[in-house]
Every structure is written in structure tokens, then in C-alpha cells.
Chains A and B, each alone.
Chain A
Amino acid sequence: MESSENYAIEMLNITKKFPGIIANDNITLQLRKGEIHALLGENGAGKSTLMSVLFGLYQPEEGVIKKDGKIVEIRDPNDANALGIGMVHQHFKLVECFTVLDNIILGVEPVKAGILQKAEARQKVLALSEKYGLNIDPDALIEDITVGMQQRTEILKMLYRDNEILIFDEPTAVLTPQEIKELMQIMRNLSAEGKSILFISHKLQEIMDVADRCTVLRKGKYIGTVNTADTTMQELSAMMVGRNVNFHVEKKEAHPGDVILNVENMTVASKMHKKNAVNNVSLKVRAGEIVCIAGIDGNGQTEFVYGITGLEPLVSGKIEMCGQDITNMSIRKRSVSGMSHIPEDRHKHGLVLDYSLEDNLVLQRYFEPEFTNPAGFLRRANIRSYADRLIEQYDVRSGQGAETIARSMSGGNQQKAIIAREIDKNPELLVAVQPTRGLDVGAIEYIHKQLVAQRDAGKAVLLVSLELDEVMDVPDRILVMYEGEIVGEFDPKDTTEEELGLYMAGARRKEVKA
């Protein structure tokens, strides 16, 4: 047994109940001084609740929090700040039109007689930046700097406030591989200087790389804490999911057939800026192959998919599906002609959240004679039996079966419902945009299997992904998109994440023929 003094913060036997649900069931998390401690768990495992308890947003029913061995009470986030606990949120909380320095001092501005003392603050920020190798320009505007730099601004915000306990909430989700490496180094520097770091993630590789220890939660329960040096990714994932998970998508050699989707010189305007979001892109997707568009978020992938699916008009270019020109076809016609679309944003496009699950499952087919009689009345009985079949076949779990309101379902099951709907249409072309976003490993494994099954059934699959693991694992061909253009084509067997990262960041490009 180690003595309590070695811990920066301890959460002992924390239990937090919501009506009918135990979100945290007797969870213990002990963060040693100067260590990097990972908190691992699926969506819904209770990570967020635990962090909310630490920040004083929830009061636990049972358990105590100790700082430096002394019991403390954290009633609200101000108490947490006073105890030196700081957090880098996944979605940054920065003022876009302020400079880095302004953002850092926001809320704790040094003031003399009502006048800002920025010079003083600048000294401190520059000193901190140098000490931890953050390398930032305090006068740059947030909107002008990269996501990685914005994250460093968030880190500096914590350091400027002399926080000793730093929480990183899924910090790598928005970064390129190179930026991830740099962040890992920054985290190591911080811990070497005595800061204690809590690192929330469900990316196992990163945890293995950077963390000293890892605490695993599953369904609100504490599963265990292990030294990363003594464990493997397989073991961690088994702890997290409760069963062994296959990371690598098992798939046979692809046998590409006819060209299903043929895009020629597609250009799509941007809603955000004057430049075109997609610029003169040409590509082909064949039956029986999975082609992945890789890239960092915001490089035109969204608009590219909008162009293909008909959600946005093209500025110029031509799209053919199964030899038919669909450039000016309506969304409905494209859908009926054999295009399925698993949209990027399941809440914005994929579901009518206030509709029941069954109504969502027929969203692409409700007008067919099977579901609407000639007088225009819905055939409710048919909709129900169709929904029940999909729910059973695709294992969509919900509280009240077909009648469940989509909004009340978990993200993973919402996504399964969309996938069931789109795959059951038996499409020729499946456009899947970030189909595993925000899902846990179990659901990801399922969805990847479905994509490969579609490929093996001779369908063309166009996958758009921001996740490098997915990009490396699932497709048969990778196309990297950077600033609206295809800058490289790769065979996943012959490339590395590092190489892709260079192309994704725009550091390299090569000519690609469609």
C-alpha cells in the first residue's frame, strides 16, 4: 500500500445514481502526482459522469474526493478550479476573434486600477510556452491558427491558472498524426514537470503510448487499474468491452467489377468561404470495392458527399451511377436508382429524432406501395412488421421496440438503425460518411463488418472517414482529400499512417488519375 500523499487527487468509492440508473457504481480513481493516467471506457461507461463529479457538477451519493490526502468538497466548478483542476475540452472553448493571449487571460485578467496589464501576462505566457515546448504565438488570432495550436492555447489556459491536475478529454480526436505525436510529447513534458494528467480516451494505441496507468470503466462499474507497461491492447479492450474484440477487419481480397460511381471534374461551392469547397475532383468506385476518402475534417469531404447525394448542386462536373448520368437527378431519384447514404450527421440528416424508430426505418421507403396504399394512407401494419424485421436482423436495441422515439435511443443504436435502413434498401452504391463517429469499439466492429459484407455482396462502397485506424483498416483504396482536391491515392497495404498524415496535412501531393 502506498501512502495517500503520493496522490494528487483521489476519487474513492464514488457512487452517483440517477433515477433508476447507477451511472457510477463504487468507482475509485487515484491519480498519482506527475503521472499520466488514462481513463478508458465505452460511451455510456460513466467517464463523463465521473469527470462531472470531479468538477462539482454532480454531487455523488457515496464516496469522497481527496486532494493531497485531505478530503475536499467540490460543490461547483469554481471549487474545482480553486483546487487546481483544469480541463481541455474536446470542443475548445475559445473566442475565435480574440488573440491567443486574450483567450488565455480571459476570466483572470491582470488588472491595475481597471487597466489591463497585458505585458505582465505576456511574459508569463511566453515563459510557460517555452518551458513546456508549446511554441505558440500569443498575438495570433484563434481563427487563423490550426486546431493543434488552438489546443495548445487551451493547455496554456490551464497552465496560466497554475492548475496542477490537467484533464484531457479525447484530445486527439481532432488532430493529424503529426499533431498527435507533438501532443504526446507535450503531455510527457508536462508530467515530467510534475503536472498530473488525466487522459480520457477510447483510443487504445494512444493510451499504450503515453499513459503510465489506465483505469477502465464499463457500464458504470470500476473494472480495474493497470500499468500500461504490463498490459496489451487486447487486454485493455477486453476489459473495456467485456469480451474480446477483433481490431482488424477481416476481409478477403477485393474483386472490383464494373464502375458503379464515376465522378468527373466535380466542383462544389462552399457555404463558408468564397473558394470552392470541392475543386475539380474525379474518381471512380467499382462494384465490390471499398474506396475511402481520408482527410482532416473540413477539407471538402462533406461538400463532396453533398454533391454526390444531391444535397447540394454542383458548380460543374458530372456524376454517373451505373452508367446513368445522375448529375441533375433529385435526391429521391438517386435513392430509388440505387444510392444509399449513411450521413455524416445522424441527428441533422439521418433521423427524424421525434419520430418513432419504425417511422425512421421507412424514411427512405415510406412511399412504396408496401407502406402506402393507393389512397395515400400509410399501411401501419406493414411498417410495423418491416421495422420489427430490421430491428431483429440488425440487432437495433431500444426501450420500446419499433415504437421507441429515436431521440431516446443511444447513439450506437441510432446509427445501427440508419445502417439497417440504408443497407436493407439493397443499394448499388453505399455512401458511408464517418459511420463510426462517436461509437465504441463494439459498435465500430459491427459497422465495419457490415461495410465489408456489402463489398463482398458486390456493392460499391464509398467511405469517408477521419479516423486513421478506419482508413488503414477498412478500405481497398485510399484517396486523400486536402483543401477540396484529391492529393494522393494509396493502397492501404503499402502505406503508413505517417505517410497519409503528410498528405492529409498538405505537406505532400501527387497527381491522381481517376
Chain B
Amino acid sequence: MKKKNFLKSDGVQSFVASIICIILGLLIGFIVLLLINAKGAPDAMLGIIKNFFKWKSGAKKMENFGVTLVKTAPLLMCSLSILFSYKVGLFNIGVAGQYVAGACAALYGVFGLHWNWLGCLLLAALAGAAFGAISGLLKAYCNVNEVISGIMLNWIALYTSNMILANYLTPGRKDTPELASKAEYSKAIIPSLGLGKLFNDNKYVGLAIIISIIFAFAVWILLSKTKFGYELKATGYNKNAAKYAGMAEKRNIVVTLAIGGLLAGIGASLLFLTDFSQWDCNQTSVPAMGFNGIAAAFLGGLNPIGAIFSSFFIQHITDGGSNVDLTMYCAQISDLISAIIIYLCGFTGLIKYLFKSGIFSKKSEKDAVNANAEPAAKPVEPADAKVTDDTSADDTPAGKEAETPDNVADEEAQASGKGGEQ
């Protein structure tokens, strides 16, 4: 009985669902590799999974572990941005654009204003928040779907950034200068705090990753412990009830997307201010970091702490993709394989839903669910699910007995969610 309860707990289900997704993703990725070139597939797959473990020397391992960590920080921030908005019922696909705006602002702070790293980071936060707020304002006051405005803003952010940062290019180059190249730029590098030494003198490893983890905990506290989080989640779960309870549901939408943008903007600064990466002013596609954040958020079970691990994993796979032997596969293969895995990672919600709807359970439970979902079976709307509800609430408090009403409720939630979303 106790074990059953444990398996039914939401956290455990999220975890198991995430693991299933990862395995499915690896499996399908492997099949694709087999189809393209069966001989190299096992090695290629191992290379992806191993990532930095492929190096023989411990020092090299650590150095490349550090690289993955450096890129995990911005990814984690993007996934926090997604999950924060998602908890409030908004799908912040504009995260990619907010990330770009953050990158642009951070680098403008460096090259244009010669600010130090903290100033640049705050500027990036502001720019991201501004882009988020635009989506929020459009959503709250003009009823423009945040997905549409987000996608539009992604492109606006990209080309605006290219234009602005092109002013600071060294002639003949398309990438922005390295921060270490000039003294007035180098004060904008986020301090390593000596952490780089642990990673075989990988100077890019430092405060950034710590900042991102602090933000993960901050988001967790904000959502679960504060009045503000209570209001935001209420708005997300049921905006009508939030309005009924006198919450400023429109303001909450704007604030939520602004905070989402702020997180993404800071995320970008955490990458570009380490000097690990430079902005390519000729790029014509929105950086994948923001979109990968979506997968990381879902893979982490939409939990800020889970996102720390899922972000690391996704970055690990992405980096591992570069280990694929390019004499056997074309150059795009590493992106393709990591994309497949990341894509499958987005299915945690589905897997969890399948758990709950009893696909994996006994047939009798499944029957109950199906019949309840069938409109003809339950014509009396308010009485829906009450046959089981009453009894379980009164006599059988927890565990297996409560399954049927749970299932029904979830199905309803799914159905209404789908209806409301579009």
C-alpha cells in the first residue's frame, strides 16, 4: 500500500516519465544512426552519451565537463523562464527572443557603455524583461496569444541585435570581439572565483553557473512559498477564479512574462559575459538555447530544481553530439541526434498523462476512465465522477481507491485545458 502511494506521487511520476523520455529519445536517435550508417552507429551513440567522458585524461575530462557546465547556466535560465510562465498558464515561446535581447543588451553594455559585468547583467535582465512585457501587454490587453507575439518578437530581437552589435565588429570579422581582447571590455567578464582551477584551468567556469542555480531556488521559493506565487499559480490554473477572488489577473500576466523575460535575459548574459561565446552578427536563425529551454523545462517535470538536472543533461547530449565521427556521418548529424533526443524530452507531459489515464494500469481502471470520458455515459454534468468521488472522499482517503476520481479529474483537466488553450 505504501509503495503504491510512493509510485503514485507526482514527483516520482515526473522522474520516471523523464527517464522514459530520455531512453526513448536515445533509442530513436540510435535507430536513425543505424539507418544512415549501421557500422558507425554504436560508436556515434556512445560518443553522444559520453560527451566529456570520452577523454582519457582526467584533466581533459574536467575541462570539458566545465564547458558543458558553462553552457548549462544559460540553458537553465531559459528553462526557468519557460516553467515559470507555464505555471502561470502561459507558454513563453518568446524565451528565445528574450534571450537574444538579453545577449544584445549585455554585449552593448560591454562594447558601447564599457560597464562592468554586474551592470551588463542587469541591463540584459532589463532587456529580456522588456521583451517579455511586450508579449504580456499584448496578451493581457489586446488578447494576442503569447505564442504568436513571442514568435514574432523572436525575429525582431534577432535582427535588431545583429544591427546593433554590428557597430562593434572588428573589420573583417562577423563575430563580436572577445571580451578578453581589450582592457575596457575585460572587466565585464563574470569572475571565475577560482572555480576554473577545479576544471583544469577552464577560465570560463565561474560565478555564472552558481548564479543560475541560485535563480532556480529563487524561482522555486517564489512559486511555492510566497503570496505572489500563490496569486500567479491561481491565475494560471484558473484565471476566472483568480478574477473572482479579486486578483489583478491582467497585471499578473504582464508581470509573469516580464519575469520570464528577465530570467532569459540574465541567462544570455551568463553565457556571453563568460567570454565563452561571441555573437555572430550574420546569423539568420534564432539561437537554439531558448527553444532547448522548453525541452529542459518539461524534462525537469516543470520543477525548478528538476530543471537544474534536466538542463545539464540536455547540454550534455548537445555537446556530446560533436563527438560523432564526421567521416561516417554528415556534419548535421550531431544536431539531428541531439534534436531527436531533446524532442522526445518534451514528451514527459504525455508520458505522465499516460500514467495517470491508466494506459499502464489494469484494464478495469481503464474501463472506468473510458466510460467516464464518454459523454453518453454521464449525461448529468454536475454528477460527473461523483459516483466514485463521494465514496472515495468519505470512506477511502488515499491510495489506490482514489485512482478513479483522479483519473477522471485529470481527463477533464486535459480536455478543458485543450479547449481553453486554443
Name A residues whose Cβ lies closer than 8 Å to a Cβ of B: 17-21, 23, 43-44, 46-49, 52, 55, 57-59, 77, 87, 89-91, 169-170, 219-220, 309, 311, 330-336, 341, 343, 348-355, 359, 363-364, 366-367, 371-372, 376-378, 397-400, 404, 407-413, 437-438
Contact = CB atoms under 8 A, between A and B. Distances in A.
B244 A355 contact: no
B335 interface: no
Contacts of B406: 408
A399 B396 contact: yes
Interface in B204-244: 225-228, 230-231, 233-234, 237-238, 240-244
A26 B334 CA distance: 63
Contacts of A169: 379-380
Contact of A410 (B231, B237, B242, B389): B389
For the residues of B in contact with A, the DSSP-based class is helix
Given A91-B381, A349-B240, A407 B393 contact: no
Centre residue among B246, B381, B383, B387 by max chain A CB count within 10 A: B387
B386 interface: yes
4 residue pairs, one from A and one from B, having the closest CB atoms: A332-B246, A438-B382, A20-B401, A44-B390
Contacts of A410: 386, 389-390, 393-394
Nearest to B234: A352
A374 to B, nearest CB: 11
Given A333-B246, A408-B409, 4 more contacts: A48-B380, A48-B383, A359-B230, A411-B389
27 contacts: A18-B365, A19-B362, A19-B400, A19-B401, A20-B392, A21-B392, A21-B396, A48-B377, A57-B371, A87-B379, A90-B380, A170-B380, A311-B243, A330-B246, A332-B245, A349-B240, A363-B241, A366-B227, A377-B225, A378-B230, A399-B392, A399-B398, A408-B389, A408-B406, A412-B390, A438-B380, A438-B383
Contacts of B246: 330-336, 364
A408 B392 contact: yes
Given A44-B390, A219-B391, A351-B238, A311 B379 contact: no
Contacts of B397: 399-400
Choose among A17, A21, A331 the residue with the greatest number of B CB atoms under 10 Å from its CB: A21
B349 to A, nearest CB: 15
B402 interface: yes
Interface in B130-169: none
A376 B226 contact: yes
A407 B380 contact: no
Contacts of A399: 392-393, 396-398, 402
Given A55-B376, A378-B226, A408-B406, A349 B371 contact: no
A239 to B, nearest CB: 18
Contacts of A220: 387, 391
Contacts of B243: 311, 331, 349
B404 interface: yes
Contacts of A413: 393
Given A48-B387, A438-B383, A57 B392 contact: no
A204 B394 CA distance: 26
> B245, B247, B396 — which one has the most chain A CB atoms within 10 A of its CB?
B245
A411 B381 CA distance: 11
A311 B244 contact: yes
Contacts of A18: 364-365, 368, 388, 404
A18 to B, nearest CB: 5
B404 A19 contact: yes
A331 B243 CA distance: 8
A229 B286 CA distance: 78
B380 A77 contact: no
A49 B241 contact: no
A18 B245 CA distance: 37
B237 A353 contact: yes
B386 A57 contact: no
Interface in B389-422: 389-394, 396-398, 400-406, 409, 413
B382 A57 contact: no
B39 interface: no
Given A21-B401, A364-B245, A378-B230, A44 B387 contact: yes
B394 to A, nearest CB: 6
A397 B237 contact: no
Contacts of A58: 367-368, 371, 377
Contacts of A407: 409, 413
A267 B413 CA distance: 35
Contact of A350 (B230, B237, B241): B241
Given A57-B377, A376-B228, A23 B387 contact: yes
A2 to B, nearest CB: 31
B11 to A, nearest CB: 15
B238 to A, nearest CB: 5
Given A355-B237, A366-B227, A408-B402, A43 B396 contact: no
A408 B389 CA distance: 7
A411 to B, nearest CB: 6
B238 A19 contact: no
Contact of A377 (B227, B244, B402): B227
Contacts of B173: none
B378 interface: yes
A259 B406 CA distance: 46
Contact of B386 (A43, A59, A309): A43
A506 B172 CA distance: 83
Contacts of B380: 48, 90, 169-170, 438
Given A348-B240, A398-B393, A48 B225 contact: no
Contacts of B381: 90-91, 438
B49 to A, nearest CB: 37
B394 A378 contact: no
A312 B231 CA distance: 21
Contacts of A398: 393
A52 B384 CA distance: 12
A407 B384 CA distance: 12
B241 A348 contact: yes
Contacts of A91: 379, 381
A400 B379 contact: no
B388 to A, nearest CB: 6
B387 A46 contact: yes
Contacts of A341: 244
B118 to A, nearest CB: 24
B387 to A, nearest CB: 5
Contact of A351 (B241, B365, B389, B396): B241
A52 B377 contact: yes
Contacts of A377: 225-227
Contacts of B383: 43-44, 47-48, 411, 438
B401 A52 contact: no
A43 B390 contact: yes
Contacts of A87: 379
A21 B391 contact: yes
Interface string B53-67: 000000000000000
Contact of A354 (B237, B242, B374, B377): B237
Given A77-B376, A352-B234, A407-B409, A44 B389 contact: yes
